[in-house]
Chain A
Amino acid sequence: MTWVNLVIQGILLGGLYALFASGLSLIFGVMKLVNLAHGDLSNMAAFLALIVVDSLGWNPFASLLIVVPLMCGVGYVLQRYLLNRTLERGPMPPLLVTFGLAVIIQNLLLEAFSADSQGLDAGRIEDAALTITGRLAVGWLPLVTMSVAIAVIAGLQFFLGRTQLGRGFRATSDNQSAAQLVGINNQRLYGLAMALALATAAIAGVFIAIRTTFTPDAGSLRLIFAYEAVIMGGMGSLWGTLVGGMVLGVAQTIGSQIDPGFGVLAGHLVFLAVLAFRPEGLFAKQVAE
């Protein structure tokens, strides 16, 4: 296992984390909401995919066709009818409510599916590898994952920068009451933002479920990884989140090589180091206020 191989694996893993993190970034960017239930919602999507795969016999990738729209609906309803009520009341209510939601979702999944490890079988792609040189081989699945992550982030950037709805998201994030004055319905807009964010979370959740086994309580760790990616990358920058994810992925991969139990901790330590020496992140956006 050469170091180059490790680093590449880490980078590709980072793509997955960035995919998780992009939804979080979006939600925080538009609504200033820190969603502590994001990891568990993503996990819920994986379980939904499991249901689709088991009952319809589809390939997990195909199940996204059902799971993503479903999660969009969940996101819209959740935001519009529950989370919107916590906004404009200070930083605590959204945190408390999303934390409560996380606990509820985890335990609902536990009741519905038991604590057993589950997996999504995507067939031969899971083991197939692309041989680049004699000693360098890269798995197809990580490559596809990374490509999807880049496509999603590029898509989000394009959406935010070039479409009227994207401009609406940015305007509302800048000044919520002025946004109302141009005719933007904030409540609806937040619902759409959450729907979009959960779509990315669903994709991420299914991809990670294909890559490794998952359990009902897997959401917490995913949330932590996603936030580590966002904070390291610098809040406010989607591409920064990608880099943050890659840094985390590389740290974890190299860490697991040193010792199998050390991977996750290595990631935490690198995160804490970035926090200590460059708390604004590696690519924080600076805007004159």
Chain B
Amino acid sequence: MSESRFKVVKSNRANRIALAAAGLVVVGFVSVPLWAQPSFQRTLTTYLCLLALAQMWNLLAGYAGLLSVGQQAYIGLGAYGLWVFADGFGLNPFLAVPLAGLAAALIALPTSVLAFRLRGGYFAIGTWVIAEAYRLIVTNIDWVGGGSGTTVTGASHVKMATRIPVTYLMALGVAVGSVLLVFFLLRSRLGLALTAVRDNETGAESLGVDVSRAKRYVYLISAFGCGLAGAVTYLNLLRIQPNAAFSVQWTALMIFIVVIGGVGSIEGPIIGTIVFLALQELLSDYGSWYLILVGAVAVAITIWNPRGIWGLITSRRPLNLFPLRRHLVVADALAPEAVKPEGSVGRSE
């Protein structure tokens, strides 16, 4: 009587190589404050926050199928949350960041009740209206500076030599954290539920998946992530203006980064952020033309190559740097690693 010839394995060699490489990259990033100029650290902080935002938008749209044009609501709420906790309540500004994220998630809860009354494109517009409503409400509150905005004095009083590196490291934490968060989420039961929902919502529901609860969790998590990223961004910028913090431009950036990099994969937003960084540095002198170009590229990609750059890279050989797939391995002396991806969690087409 032989023991089972089959076992399910969650990672393969490509995963392990990528994991090692990623570890090295992260160590490299952590070392940045030791050797880089403050202005470089601040630039990196911005891009790390963008990466986190992109992951959050991708989580919502690419995995839960909720295309939101209103995540800027939580970026703004995170920014103002930072001010409220740091300046309003006098807490340590670095402590205020996670609190701001939580506050954003808390506000997202009743918000989701409203937003989820709509579906598809109307959901998208609804989220936009909600973001606009939050923007206008905040603009009307004098305590936080009203229309002209406010400054995070609690942070500006911290010495630059401390503030900039710590902010940078927080941004790195938020970025890496967002990647890990999405990764572990997708490996979890919730992740399986999401894939089922994405493939066939009615089918998933008939199997007992609580579709609306799954979507709500994802919405709250995305709000938390956006709140965190917003708080860190404005910790970096120090000056909060409601029209900028709640601007739909944030969503435009998130969408473009994710679409160009590849929707529905963890690798996509990472690539998208890098491409965006390159484009931004190369073309920033050209004002609106650069936005037009980015927009045109995103449109072209959506139509002709919807899986983005990562899709292009993986079109020949399916590649998952992040171990999300479950592989069926035939435990055989002749074939140590069979390749039969079963129950894959992640974009399957």
A and B touch in the complex (CB under 8 A): yes
A residues with CB within 8 A of B? 28, 33-34, 36, 82, 85-86, 89, 91-97, 99-101, 103-104, 107-108, 110-111, 220, 223-224, 227-228, 231, 235, 261-262, 264-265, 268-269, 271-272, 275-276, 279
Contact B114 A104, beta carbon cutoff 8 Å: no
- Residue B15 lies at the interface, judged by CB distance under 8 Å to chain A: no
Q: Are B114 and A96 in contact (CB under 8 A)?
A: no
Q: Is the interface of A mostly helix, strand, loop or mixed?
A: helix
Chain A contacts for B129, CB-based, 8 A: 224, 227-228, 268, 271-272
Q: B133 contacts A268, CB within 8 Å?
A: yes
A91-B120 contact in complex given A86-B303, A99-B69, A107-B295, C-beta closer than 8 Å? yes
Alpha-carbon separation in the docked complex, A272 to B137 (Å): 13
In the assembled complex, the Cα of A101 lies from the Cα of B302 at a distance in Å of 12
Indicate if B292 sits at the interface (CB-CB under 8 A): yes
The chain A residue with its CB closest to the CB of B146 is A261
Q: Which residue of B122, B140, B291, B298 contacts A96 across the interface (Cβ within 8 Å)?
A: B298
State in angstroms the CA–CA spacing of A261 and B135 once bound together.
12
Judge whether A34 and B122 touch: CB under 8 Å: yes
With the chains together, A7 CA to B124 CA distance in Å?
30
Q: Which residues of A contact B122 (CB under 8 A)?
A: 34, 227, 231, 235
| A265 close to B125 (CB less than 8 A) | no
Pick from A33, A93, A94, A107: contact of B288, CB below 8 A: A107
| Whole-angstrom CA separation of A101 from B303 in the bound complex | 12
Q: Which residues of A contact B259 (CB under 8 A)?
A: 96
Complex CA gap A100/B122 in Å reads 17
Task: Give chain A nearest CB distance to B61 CB in angstroms.
Answer: 7
Q: Given A34-B122, A91-B120, A275-B126, A103 and B133 touching (CB < 8 A)?
A: no
By the criterion CB–CB under 8 Å, are B292 and A82 in contact?
no
A residues in contact with B292, CB < 8 Å: 103-104, 107-108, 111
Could you tell me the distance in whole angstroms from the C-beta of A198 to the nearest C-beta in chain B?
18
Bitwise, B49-77 to A at CB < 8 A (1) or not (0) is 00000000000010001010100000000
Of the four ranges (under 10, 10 to 19, 20 to 34, 35 or more), the interface on chain B belongs to 35 or more
Residues of the A chain whose Cβ atoms lie less than 8 Å from the Cβ of B302: 86, 93, 96-97, 100
**A264 to B61 Cα, complex, angstroms:** 28
Q: Mark B118-147, 1 if CB is under 8 A from A, else 0.
A: 101110111011101100110110000001
Q: Does B299 contact A (CB under 8 A)?
A: yes
29 A-B Cβ contacts within 8 A?
Answer: A34-B122, A36-B69, A85-B303, A93-B303, A95-B67, A95-B124, A99-B69, A99-B252, A100-B296, A100-B302, A104-B296, A107-B289, A107-B295, A111-B292, A224-B132, A227-B125, A231-B118, A231-B125, A235-B122, A261-B136, A261-B147, A264-B132, A268-B129, A268-B136, A269-B133, A272-B129, A275-B117, A279-B117, A279-B118
Contact of B117 among A86, A261, A264, A276 (CB under 8 A): A276
A200–B69 CA distance with the chains assembled, in angstroms: 25
Can you name the residue of chain B whose Cβ is closest to the Cβ of A280?
A: B117
Nearest to A216 among chain B residues (CB) is B288
A81–B194 CA distance with the chains assembled, in angstroms:
34
Once A276-B117, A279-B118 are accepted as A-B contacts, the answer to whether A107 and B61 lie under 8 Å apart by CB is no
Complex Cα gap A60–B7 (Å)? 74
B156 to chain A, nearest CB (A): 28
Q: In angstroms, how far is the closest chain B Cβ from the Cβ of A267? A: 9
A84: shortest Cβ distance to chain B, in Å?
10
- Assess whether B287 is interfacial by the CB under 8 Å rule: yes
Told that A96-B299, A231-B126 touch, could you supply 10 new A-B pairs with CB distance under 8 A? A92-B263, A104-B295, A104-B296, A224-B125, A227-B125, A261-B139, A265-B136, A268-B132, A272-B129, A279-B117
Whether, in the assembled complex, B228 has its beta carbon less than 8 Å from a beta carbon of chain A, the answer is no
Q: When each residue 3-40 of chain B gets 1 if its CB lies under 8 Å from chain A and 0 otherwise, what string results?
A: 00000000000000000000000000000000000000
Min Cβ gap B236→A in Å is: 25
Q: Are B121 and A100 in contact (CB under 8 A)?
A: no
What is the distance, in angstroms, from B33's C-beta to the closest C-beta of chain A? 35
B residues within 8 A CB of A220?
A: 248
Task: Tell me, in angstroms, the Cα distance from A104 to B129 when the chains sit together.
Answer: 21
**Assuming A36-B124, A100-B295, A111-B288, is B118 touching A275 (CB within 8 A)?**
yes
Instruction: A220 to B252: give the CA distance in the assembly, Å.
Output: 12
Note all chain B residues with C-beta closer than 8 A to A223.
Answer: 125
B255 at the interface (CB under 8 A from A): yes
Which of A94, A104, A224 has the most chain B CB atoms inside 10 A of its CB?
A104
**A268 CA / B134 CA spacing, docked (Å):** 10
* Docked-complex contact B140 and A262, CB < 8 angstroms: yes
Q: Which of B263, B287, B298 contacts A100 (CB 8 A)?
A: B298
Q: Which residue of A lies closest to B110 (CB)?
A: A276
Residue of B nearest to A265 (CB): B136
Contacts of A269 in B (CB 8 A): 133
Q: Is residue B306 contacting chain A, with contact meaning CB distance below 8 A? A: yes
Provide the residues of chain B in CB contact with A111, threshold 8 Å. 287-289, 292
B:147-165 near A, CB below 8 Å: 147
Residue of A nearest to B61 (CB): A92
* Closest chain A residue to B302, Cβ basis: A96
Cα A107 to Cα B67 with chains together (Å): 23
A265/B288 in contact, CB under 8 A: no
Of all chain A residues, which has the CB nearest B303?
Answer: A85
Flag if B120 contacts A104 (CB, 8 Å): no
User: Min CB distance, B264 to chain A, in Å?
Assistant: 10
CB distance from A257 to the nearest CB of B (A): 16
8 shortest A-B CB distances, which residue pairs?
Answer: A34-B121, A265-B136, A107-B288, A279-B117, A100-B299, A268-B133, A103-B295, A104-B295
